[in-house]
A and B are shown apart, each in its own frame.
Chain A
């Protein structure tokens, strides 16, 4: 029963894009933005939006590897603690050990990468479930950070250090450029390369992937290490943005990241998802937070609204995707 594939018309293509997971989310985002713009005229301004771009970069950077990990059916809860650990190692090796600042930045990001590697190693070699392993290191890495910092904060960085977190390049916050490049590069990696294909295969059926000769363990080790690296980069940006180093930095960021990834259409059971979807999720959450705050909504009420939007978006998407799958 071979049916000839027919070239879809423009309308059909447009329709298919609109009812895709990302399309639905994008529409919800547009509606939210328009609504918020009617509540306050401080919201929909170039300056404010760019400022929000600055604030969401750390979550955005970590959300990329988190998307990879959740696609394989895993999770990384330790990203916030890795961010904090990176920040502390950076500040401590510069101020206490007298490293040159460039080297201290490198040491910070390296320690984050190593932390991710440790997660991956235990998950792959010892077979600890990702949820358990990263829940343990969530506590462990934070404890390390606190132990190293001894509750002291490091400040007094030279001017050039703030360029990444507070500066601008061509009128756009410096770190936002980094996020844009990372999103494009790692979005393409996921969609087009062998690595991406392997991640989807692992998430859908890990045994099947192994039996097809894919090097499952190597891929998993790679993405958890990548997650540590990106959390480290986010840690550096964080310190540069707020001009100081404290051991509680990044506390709870893992929940924002996971919320954005799941909101962006990545199944928590693995197998589906995209970087584009995740980024829409990141932007939507950031704009809601900001827009509601500017409209004078209290912060408690803001969380309620964000939670409700999350549930609403997931319901709408489920509804549309099952309808689409059914016909």
Chain B
């Protein structure tokens, strides 16, 4: 292929216990947007870290513009024109936009015989770079820390351009963006493509791949499964390439026998995001809690779990009123909580799978407060098997697991506590399609076979609609709608989520 800008062949990379890349290959042409997709743990991150010089491959050839290259560190890749925009943005919040863009290569001038920074040239240079990206409303003197996520990302892109990047790697660039920021990002990406910049685009969102990319490469278990023209493929084909099997139904919900009321809330209050909330969840029932971000779903879950204790109202568990003012009391009442922020709230990432799975049941694996490690290990082994957690064993540090497997560890921690109510806050956010289906199947099985009551919070309407027996909708801290499984459709639930103003606008438009 003559127009290949970057060519990688036979790439192997091993980490202790895991072969992250196996004879993988990848090719990027000049001026294309090339999507790189795959499950968590498929090897995408390893691949781009090799491209950007963070990791060195154990073996394999990398050619840039027809020349063999071998990056020893990220700086060399930088100098060769490869820039990366990571999920965690790599900017200095206390410095200005212009300083960030020209970090490390500021324009200089001689003043009083000293080399000093040419502030005027730097600011006008920054303005020019931003203008090239059609960004005109950004003050180059503003501190980066005061900007929103979308603007910070634009600064990063401008910084990459200031280095004359010919390949720009974007790792989940839309993960933290709002709708309008996503639109603007897409137009910037298209602009860059027209200028001949090649873009490696990593995303979990397949619709973005179809909207933006020219070609797409799928990785699975460290191997390259294939590269396709986006116009020649379909979402179903990509998913089956990613998970290696045809998915008939992403949401295998089993019919469950609905039992007695497990949790009942009466006028639960903790303003501003939990106001006068009353609802119940029954054994075997999955109740979906829908609403926009900021509507108070997670906060209400945390009121129930005792992280944000209620100011007034009643929590009734299995018919008995209880007082829950801290998480330990909620756990004692048989409540488990799989939180939204996996790395910060769900796991102790520096600790092993064994230590994490037993964290909520230390009493059960201990005798006279002495922890029985053998018992812990067998608990961890059972969890690994039951949830098919991909790991080297119970002693693996959870930080080294992929997102989907980390989430399975969090879930197994709560399953070990044998709860009667499990609250799952965005249970499948940021995890790949295969693990997502596995978690859905597990939820459905727990409800149907063990009569577990599940309260599921999700921002994905298809997930809510497919998994829930009953759907509750929150807005501005209040419960504003309830639908049975049969009544609920994308339209009715979405309508309930909208604010009054948005509803008026919607009905005026129709």
Contacts and interface: CB of A to CB of B under 8 A. Distances in A.
B371 A194 contact: yes
Interface in B323-367: 326-328, 330-332, 337, 339, 344-351, 355, 359-360, 362-363, 366
Interface of A: 1-3, 5, 192-195, 197-198, 200-201, 204-205, 207-215, 217, 271, 327
Contact of A215 (B326, B359, B369, B417): B326
Contacts of A195: 369
Which of the listed residues B330, B348, B351 has the most CB atoms from chain A within 10 Å of its own CB? B348
A204 B393 contact: no
Nearest to B338: A211
Given A1-B390, A201-B351, A214-B359, A208 B371 contact: no
Contact of A197 (B16, B331, B346, B355): B355
B369 A194 contact: yes
A212 B413 contact: yes
A325 to B, nearest CB: 10
Given A1-B17, A201-B359, A214-B328, A209 B371 contact: no
Interface of B: 16-19, 305, 307, 326-328, 330-332, 337, 339, 344-351, 355, 359-360, 362-363, 366, 369-371, 390, 392-393, 413, 417
A205 B327 contact: no
Nearest to B337: A211
Contacts, number: 84
B359 A207 contact: no
B330 A213 contact: yes
Contact of B345 (A5, A197, A211): A211
Nearest to B302: A211
A181 to B, nearest CB: 18
A205 B19 CA distance: 29
Nearest to A210: B327
Given A205-B347, A213-B331, 19 more contacts: A1-B17, A192-B371, A194-B362, A194-B369, A194-B371, A197-B362, A201-B359, A204-B349, A207-B344, A207-B345, A208-B346, A209-B348, A210-B327, A211-B307, A211-B337, A212-B327, A212-B360, A213-B359, A214-B362
A208 B345 contact: yes
A201 B331 CA distance: 17
A69 B69 CA distance: 50
Contacts of A3: 17, 392-393
A211 B346 contact: yes
Contacts of B371: 192-194, 197
Which of the listed residues A194, A198, A208, A211 has the most CB atoms from chain B within 10 Å of its own CB? A211
B327 A211 contact: yes
Which of the listed residues A5, A207, A209 has the most CB atoms from chain B within 10 Å of its own CB? A207
Given A1-B18, A1-B392, A192 B327 contact: no
B360 A208 contact: no
Contacts of B18: 1
A5 B360 CA distance: 26
B337 A194 contact: no
A211 B392 contact: no
A176 B193 CA distance: 74
12 contacts: A1-B19, A3-B392, A201-B351, A208-B344, A208-B348, A208-B349, A210-B326, A212-B331, A212-B360, A213-B332, A215-B328, A327-B16
A81 B349 CA distance: 37
Nearest to A212: B359
B413 A5 contact: no
B348 A213 contact: no
Contacts of B328: 213-215
A208 B346 CA distance: 6
Contact of A192 (B307, B351, B359, B370): B370
Contacts of A201: 348, 351, 355, 359
A205 B356 CA distance: 12
A205 B337 contact: no
A23 B480 CA distance: 62
A34 to B, nearest CB: 36
B481 to A, nearest CB: 29
Contacts of A194: 362-363, 366, 369, 371
Contacts of A5: 393
B350 A193 contact: no
A193 B370 contact: yes
Contacts of A204: 348-351
Contacts of B345: 207-208, 211
